[in-house]
Amino acid sequence: MGELSPSVQVKLLRVLQEGEYEPIGGDTQRTDVRVVAATNRDIRAEVAAGRFREDLFYRLNVIAITAPPLRARREDVPLLCDHFLGVYCSKNARKRLDVSREAMQALLDYTWRETCASWKM
């Protein structure tokens, strides 16, 4: 959410406030939607800096769920590895894989960066 351009922020705010939108080449459509939004940015800082609309922030910030970053909960790394290996092995009809001790230790020792400026969603 924190990466939305100002023009898209205006359009999303209109949908949330007015309950309508205009598809390209079409007439105005009514809609009733619920939005689940996520960002890896400090959205309050983005609002303070003028890069994110305050009115849109308050429309989206009805129920806030904050999850600490993975670097702050390294004990979850083995659980997450196990979960995703199970999901993707099952999805691809593969025999259940395990993570080697060395690979797990590399993941646990990894310095998870606070931000990654090259990420664009």
The residues facing 113 across adjacent strands are: none
C-alpha distances in angstroms, 94 versus 45, 53, 90, 104? 44, 46, 6, 20
Residue 97 CB-density burial (10 A; 0-12 exposed, 13-18 middle, 19+ buried): exposed
Q: Within 10 A of 15 (CB to CB), how many other CB atoms are there?
A: 15
Question: Among 117, 119, 4, which residue's Cα sits nearest to residue 59?
Answer: 4
**pTM confidence score:** 0.61
Which residues of the chain are modeled with pLDDT < 70? 114-121
Q: What are the residues whose beta carbons fall under 8 Å from the beta carbon of 30, sequence distance 6 or more?
A: 19, 20
pLDDT for position 119: 44
